């Protein structure tokens, strides 16, 4: 075949090349190594595979598929490990039945130790690996390079630390979405390197695209929800989305979600590919059309709650950054701090203490399943004939106090725990806990509505009961959407439960919650994290500091760059080449007038010196430059899209400085530090 | 209150102003008109309302809400009218039962006359109003102004023409999505003007944003599907999406979808807000996990079919543009042409002729409902005890030949009809017919799979039957996605039917179909339309002409622009002001060297002449400019994002020309004409 012949020639050529020069392609090894014959066979097979694969589509597509499949595998592996660790804890706790003291120690020490281990581990291996990771990912996607956030050690520290955090269970109440997005970008960075090695070209393009795709795969493989995964990553990470990434993102996310679901089928957990949280909403009349208003009101309520939550969170972050005791503890004794905080939380949630009102024996998944149960809790608990023990809300009702009161208590305490847990220096996600809190808020609202309607109904009316689970779904989407300033949780809630009949009310609630949360340019959860970590991320800096959008670029520049005048002779050029290491040197009219004319490449200057021409003018190129007076820092975000590596800043035509992306990063970092 | 006082002062000021000058705000009328007292009262109330509305949120948000609500109203109005017209045709046809000749005339002349009317009407009122409108909308959203595509006459012509086309029913087999996107942008343009009038500021921002929002609302209000509506418009219209439009788009789309569904509840059609096409898929085991492979194969099949369809479509478009008979007919006798073609189509679909195998008595909605019926057709028709008459596929099976054969015939003929119908010069959408064809293709495939599996099963096995409707859903999404080169039909299919269990297989099929359809840089359906209409839309031009992405800008420029040299005196400045009408005049080093230094504003030059300064250099500004040698036409698309109105093109620092958006449009139009 043509492909075969091609490959053969290719092979021959490369063989010849390898005789004269050292290996150019990693698939070719040098001639001095042993086992020449077997290696040649392996090499030929590898080249043949590459040829076959390359004939179907570009190598990057295999990279995208591998990205999805790998992340799904990691997600599944993590789920299985965490489930086993949680089951071990549960087994130990049940075995100690009858001895409250032992049970107490089992309940509190198990999560404390796990979190302390997670904290020490991540502190010692890679101190950057704590927290969500989404703020770092979006900073990287905005064009700022942060290589230490993509290292292999970081990945292992994050993965193992996250397993420990999740194994601490619903006591600590943390999720895995954020770290998974981060893990995914790390895997993406490695895969893009691999693709470049195999392809030998298009380095930058693949690398940038792979990171965008990786961010989308993170969420998709976490829940097996491809569409909302892509949309969430788009909303959180970008300010301008290039549509050419759309197809790769969906492709990789679909691969990830498909593999994740197939793993659950193969492991025997499920019969077929299904939604993560099965629900049983009535299909005939999902909700009355007048309930739309109530859903809207719930959205506003969730928006208000999210504002309170973010305010508390911002305050506690500030407190831990300014209080000397906390500063000392969080820099030197991270493990001890984590252990102590988790012990405190576990104390509150101990089932023989306040835990009996908190359904603290449930895992996060069980909590969500219970909250999304379509039967009304209050009417069921009135009816004594129903087997209470089998109901999912039994954990809330077991203490004897009314279910609604118990649920309100649950909501309040969980929100406080969440604010506290967010200060823990462990790898953890904060999306899922907010989602569960939102579901509880919605459920409380829904139960209230159902109870009010129930009392107004006479028994002989033909009447379909109100479904409080619909409110729980809307509440979950609205609160998590409002906290993160995104709309995709609406779709996520639907993808997780498969309840498409509720699309419109859920979307409405999320929209209204977002409108309230975004009003007055309030920062989102990730903006607060970005600002607190002093990351050079322009959109969040803009929210933190009102004056940034109107700061002129000129004021932020350092000293004059090395420059050449139009009529520069060889001496001046030689000096410029010696003093500057930039690849582009700006050319001005004359040193007096300073009017920028363009730039010359360093390589051209070297050639100029070799041939000793008379003027640099001939080679000059002009590129994108910026008016310092008028253009502000805000515009630089858009200019990064144009893909220019160097920007010249002028004022009334006169050169006042040069910005490279490296310097741009420094400017943003300085701005971040100032706040 | 503060608001009240503010309003009062505002009012007073405006009163004073209106004494001296003519009305600046449209809420204020001149002092010479009658009924001064009542008008003052009305004016005060209007101002008070504006003040109250403005206190909650910006005026543009009311615009977005109004956009959604208005489009939903138009969509509902159109649906009702079309239903009534279709019912009238049906009633007439049934009344003539027994007389085949009369029935024949009723069947053929009714749609022919309607299409002839639609064609003549749109030809006489507004010749641009034929076709889909999506190519025009995306050209406008890319920054090219086409005011005649947003005129009020155009809107009326399109609306009434579309009603006539749709009333011709499933015989002509055309949809409403495309024209609705176009109608929505027209409404959006008017609403943005209104917002600007009320707000008196931020003109450009609101106008651009409103058009993006309007495009999203178009699809959303058409089907009551907000999420896929927004995504479809994003995929079809943009190459870079600004995330700041995301929230307004979803807000307006949710308003539109909500209103559209509420209208159906209020009109008594439905009990509550529900999906457009109700389905009854089995919930317990939606599909076996091994069926994923079959769904993938169906996707590839749909991709291949879409390539054939687009090839035929491109050929027939070329034929109508080059054949002298067609050219003459399509320029002068549009009505006659439409009537004849529709008569021909109606002849084929006449129920006493080939129509009996085509289910031609069904409306498009009934067709889709029948194709998405979850019970297997073939096994049902074997079983004589089932009441055949009540089954939705009865129309296909009524002729006595096997249902599958009938379905294959249906698919073939409908595709041919669709290719022919696409040449009709009437306002019409082409998305929904492709969607239905895809559903038929998927159904055929699914019935085949079900029949093969059915024969391999012994009766005593516990076995859930294969659901062919799942394949129909996947086929519909995959074919329409492949034809338009978009992924959102996957979500649309799910939003229309509410079958979330099938998300992954549908998405997979759509992805694979798209991969096949996009391979080899083939143009999408809308690209073909753009190219055939010679619209200046860069992404579609790139696909039509391979050399465009590597064409340097410099080669496309016209003559030298008016320019000033650095040391220009008053005489030269006076001459430049007289000869050029541009707002920005470029400044060069000297007329010999031509090295571009920057530009001065015309207003500054006028000031300069008044004060008679010595050199223009002092006012000079430098802005974004472009290297002609290196930068190609492709990059201009991105540069439009930066928002600069004028680009200076240089070669080795020397000015070779200036591009404004107006000229840019001309360059693109010239490129379009060349192809």
Enclosing H/E stretch for B571: helix B570-579
Confidence tier at B610 by pLDDT (50, 70, 90): confident
Measured in whole angstroms, how far is the alpha carbon of residue B280 from the centre of its chain?
A: 31
Which distant-in-sequence residues (6+ apart) come within 8 Å of A237 by Cβ?
Answer: A134, A137, A138, A141, A212, A215
**Chain-chain contact of B272 with A289 (C-beta, under 8 angstroms):** yes
- Contact between A313 and A419 under an 8 Å Cβ cutoff? The reply is yes
Contacts of A254 in chain B (CB under 8 A): 504, 507-508, 511
Cα–Cα separations (whole angstroms), residue A672 to A212, A531, A669 = 24, 7, 5
Interchain CB distance below 8 Å, B243 and A234? yes
Choose from A237-241, A301-305, B458-462 the range with maximum mean pLDDT: A301-305
Task: Quickly state the pLDDT bin for B253 (edges 50, 70, 90).
Answer: very high
Mutate to test the interface with B, among A244, A622, A645 (most CBs of B within 10 A): A622
**Residue A287 to residue B272, Cβ atoms within 8 A:** yes
A238:B243 CB<8 A: yes
Which residue from A minimizes the CA distance to B505?
A258
CB neighbour class for B45 (10 Å; exposed up to 12, middle 13-18, buried from 19): exposed
CA pair distance B86, B110, nearest whole angstrom = 10
| Torsion, CA A597, CA A601, CA A604, CA A605, rounded to 10 | 70
Q: How far is B512 from chain A (nearest CA, A)?
A: 9
Chain B: nearest CA to A613, how far in angstroms? Answer: 16
Instruction: Render the burial of B537-554: b for 16+ CB within 10 Å, e for the rest.
Output: bbbbbbbbeeebeeebbb
Residue A584: its H or E element = strand A584-588
Residue A249 above 50 pLDDT?
yes
Residue whose structure tokens are 């972050």 = A317
Structure-model confidence comparison of residues B517 and B152, the more confident one: B517
pLDDT in tens, B283-315: 777 788 888 999 999 999 999 999 999 999 999
pLDDT value for B21: 43
Asked if B240 lies within 8 A of A240 by C-beta distance, the reply is yes
CB contact under 8 A, B254 and A507: yes
Residues of chain B found within 8 Å of residue A241, distances taken between Cβ atoms = 240-241, 243
Across A253-263, average pLDDT: 91
A501 to B498: CB separation less than 8 angstroms, yes or no: yes
- H/E segment holding residue B297: helix B291-322
Token pair listed for A381: 């608990």
Mean pLDDT score of chain B: 79
A531 to chain B, minimum CA–CA distance in Å? 21
User: How confident is the model over B579-591, as a mean pLDDT?
Assistant: 70
pLDDT, residue B11, reads 47
DSSP of A136-199:
HHHHHHTT---GGGG-HHHHHHHHHHHHHHHHTGGGT--BSHHHHHHHHHHHHHHHHHHHHHHH
Token pair 């927290």 is found at A131
- B240-242 vs A240-242, strand pairing mode: antiparallel
* Range with lowest mean pLDDT among A178-182, A501-505, B630-634: B630-634
Phi and psi torsions of A543, nearest 5°: -75, -30
Instruction: Please return the burial class of B316, using the count of CB atoms within 10 Å of its CB with bins 0-12, 13-18 and 19+.
Output: middle
Q: B669 falls in which pLDDT band (50, 70, 90)?
A: low
Question: In this structure, what are the phi and psi dihedrals at residue A175, rounded to the nearest 5 degrees?
Answer: -115, -165
Q: Is the pLDDT of residue A22 over 70?
A: no
Measure A288 CA to nearest chain B CA, in Å.
Answer: 6
A146 class by beta-carbon count within 10 Å (0-12 exposed, 13-18 middle, 19+ buried): middle
What is the predicted pLDDT for the residue at A511? 95
Chain A hits for B500, CB-CB cut-off 8 Å, are 275, 494-495, 498-500
Q: Do B619 and A288 touch (CB under 8 A)?
A: no
Q: Which residues of B363-380 are buried (b: 16+ CB within 10 A; e: fewer)?
A: bbbebbbbbbbbbbbbeb
pLDDT at B380 > cutoff 70: no
Identify the structural domains of chain A with CATH numbers, from first to last.
Answer: 2-56 (no CATH), 59-266 (1.10.3080.10), 291-542 (1.10.3080.10), 552-674 (3.10.580.10)
Complex ipTM: 0.83
Å between A507 CA and nearest CA of chain B: 7
> From the list B241, B503, B508, which residue is nearest A241 (CB)?
B241
- Asked whether the beta carbons of B229 and B184 are under 8 A apart, the reply is no
Which residues of chain A does B491 touch, with a Cβ-Cβ cutoff of 8 Å?
227
- B244, B261, B272, B650, best to mutate vs chain A, most A CBs in 10 Å: B272
- Which pTM was predicted? 0.83
Residue B660 CB partners (closer than 8 Å, separation 6+): B582, B645, B646, B647
Round to whole Å and give the CA distance between B66 and A79. 47
Q: Is B494–A511 a contact, with Cβ atoms under 8 angstroms apart?
A: no
Do A597 and B589 lie within an 8 Å CB cutoff?
A: yes
- pLDDT for A563 equals 73
Interface test with B, best of A212, A226, A227 (most B CBs within 10 A): A227
Closest CA to A645 of A578, A590, A599: A599
When scoring B54, B227, B257, B288 by the number of chain A Cβ atoms within 10 A, the one with the most, hence best to mutate, is: B227
**If you count residue pairs, one on A and one on B, with CB atoms under 8 Å apart, how many are there?**
205
Residue B213, pLDDT above cutoff 50: yes
Nearest CA in chain B to A233: B243
Give backbone dihedrals phi and psi of A406, rounded to 5 degrees, phi first: -60, -40
Q: Is the dihedral of CA B310, B312, B316, B318 positive or negative?
A: positive
| Beta carbons of B274 and A286 less than 8 Å apart | yes
- Distance of residue A234 Cα from the nearest chain B Cα, in angstroms: 8
B57, B251, B288 member nearest A272 (Cβ) = B288
Mind telling me how many Å the CA of B470 is from chain A's nearest CA?
A: 14
Other beta carbons within 10 angstroms of residue A610's beta carbon come to 8
> Among the listed ranges A248-262, A326-340, B221-235, B648-662, which one has the minimum average pLDDT value?
B648-662
Q: Are B239 and A235 an interchain contact pair (Cβ–Cβ within 8 Å)?
A: no
pLDDT of amino acid B52: 87
Scanning every residue of chain A, which has its alpha carbon at the shortest distance from the alpha carbon of B272? A289
C-alpha atoms less than 13 angstroms from C-alpha of B543 in its C-beta half-sphere? 19
Give the DSSP H/E element, type plus range, for residue B599.
strand B596-601
B586: nearest CA partner in chain A: A653
pLDDT band at B106 (very low <50, low <70, confident <90, very high): very high
Interface contact flag, B650 A622, Cβ < 8 Å: yes
What's the mean pLDDT in B242-248? 87
Q: How far is B398 from chain A (nearest CA, A)?
A: 31
Q: Given this model, what pLDDT does residue A306 score?
A: 95
Q: How far apart are CA B672 and CA B675, in angstroms?
A: 6
Highest-confidence segment of A121-130, A478-487, A530-539? A478-487
> What value does the mean pLDDT take over residues A276-304?
85
Q: What's the CA gap between B387 and B381, in Å, rounded?
A: 9
Burial of B193 (0-12, 13-18, 19+ CB in 10 A): middle
How near does any CA of chain A get to the CA of B15, in Å? Answer: 33
Give the residue from chain B lying closest to A260, CA to CA: B504
Q: Are B336 and B425 in contact (CB under 8 A)?
A: no
Q: B235 contacts in A (CB within 8 Å)?
A: 243, 246
| Percent with pLDDT over 90 in chain B | 29
Q: What is the pLDDT of residue B631?
A: 45
């Amino acid at each position: 075949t043509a492909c075969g012949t091609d490959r053969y020639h290719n092979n021959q050529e490369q063989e010849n090349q390898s005789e004269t020069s050292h290996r150019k392609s990693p698939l070719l090894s040098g001639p001095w190594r042993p086992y020449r014959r077997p290696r040649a066979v392996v090499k030929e097979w590898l080249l043949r595979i590459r040829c076959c694969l390359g004939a179907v589509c570009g190598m990057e597509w295999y990279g995208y598929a591998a990205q999805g499949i790998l992340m799904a595998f990691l997600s599944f592996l993590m789920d299985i490990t965490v489930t086993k660790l949680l089951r071990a804890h549960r087994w130990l706790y049940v075995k100690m039945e009858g001895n409250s003291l032992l049970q107490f120690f089992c309940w509190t020490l198990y999560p404390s130790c796990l979190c302390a281990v997670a904290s020490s581990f991540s502190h010692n291996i890679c101190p950057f690996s704590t927290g969500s990771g989404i703020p770092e990912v979006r900073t990287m996607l905005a064009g700022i390079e942060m290589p230490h956030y993509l290292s292999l050690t970081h990945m292992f520290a994050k993965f193992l630390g996250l397993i420990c955090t999740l194994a601490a269970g619903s006591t600590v109440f943390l999720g895995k979405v954020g770290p998974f997005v981060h893990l995914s970008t790390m895997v993406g960075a490695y895969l893009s390197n691999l693709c470049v090695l195999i392809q030998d070209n298009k380095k930058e393009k693949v690398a940038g695209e792979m990171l965008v795709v990786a961010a989308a795969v993170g969420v998709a493989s976490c829940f097996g929800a491809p569409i909302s995964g892509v949309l969430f990553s788009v909303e959180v990470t970008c300010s301008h989305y290039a549509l050419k990434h759309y197809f790769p993102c969906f492709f990789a996310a679909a691969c990830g979600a498909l593999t994740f679901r197939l793993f659950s089928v193969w492991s025997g957990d499920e019969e077929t590919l299904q939604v993560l949280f099965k629900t049983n909403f009535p299909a005939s009349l999902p909700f009355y059309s007048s309930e739309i208003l109530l859903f809207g009101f719930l959205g506003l309520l969730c928006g208000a709650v999210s504002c309170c939550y973010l305010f508390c969170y911002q305050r506690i972050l500030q407190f831990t950054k300014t209080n000397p005791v906390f500063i000392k503890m969080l820099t030197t004794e991270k493990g001890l701090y984590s252990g102590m905080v988790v012990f405190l939380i576990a104390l509150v949630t101990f089932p023989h203490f306040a835990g009996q009102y908190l359904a603290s024996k449930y895992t996060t998944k069980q909590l969500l399943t219970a909250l999304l149960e379509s039967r009304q809790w209050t009417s069921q608990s009135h009816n004594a004939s129903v087997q209470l023990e089998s109901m999912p809300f039994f954990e809330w009702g077991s203490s004897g106090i009314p279910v609604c009161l118990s649920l309100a208590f649950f909501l309040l305490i969980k929100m406080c725990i969440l604010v506290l847990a967010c200060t823990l220096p462990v790898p953890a996600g904060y999306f899922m806990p907010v989602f569960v809190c939102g579901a509880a808020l919605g459920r409380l609202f829904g139960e209230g509505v159902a109870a009010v309607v129930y009392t107004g109904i006479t028994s002989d009316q033909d009447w379909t009961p109100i479904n409080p689970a619909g409110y729980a779904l809307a509440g979950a989407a609205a609160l998590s959407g409002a906290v993160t300033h995104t709309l995709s949780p609406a779709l996520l809630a639907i993808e997780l439960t498969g309840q498409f009949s509720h699309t419109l009310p859920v979307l409405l609630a999320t929209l209204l919650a977002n409108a309230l949360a975004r009003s007055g340019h309030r920062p989102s959860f990730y903006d607060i994290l970005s600002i607190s970590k002093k990351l050079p991320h322009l959109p969040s800096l803009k929210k933190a500091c009102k004056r940034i959008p109107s700061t002129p670029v000129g004021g932020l520049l350092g000293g004059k760059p090395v420059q050449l005048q139009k009529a520069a002779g060889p001496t001046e050029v030689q000096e410029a080449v010696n003093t500057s290491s930039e690849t582009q040197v700006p050319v001005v009219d004359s040193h007096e007038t300073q009017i920028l004319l363009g730039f010359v490449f360093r390589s051209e200057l070297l050639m100029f010196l070799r041939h000793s021409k008379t003027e640099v003018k001939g080679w000059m190129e002009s590129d994108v430059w910026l008016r310092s007076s008028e253009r502000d820092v805000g515009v630089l975000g858009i200019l990064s899209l144009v893909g220019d590596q160097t920007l010249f800043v002028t004022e009334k035509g006169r050169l006042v400085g040069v910005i490279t992306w490296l310097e741009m990063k420094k400017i943003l970092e300085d701005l971040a530090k100032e706040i």
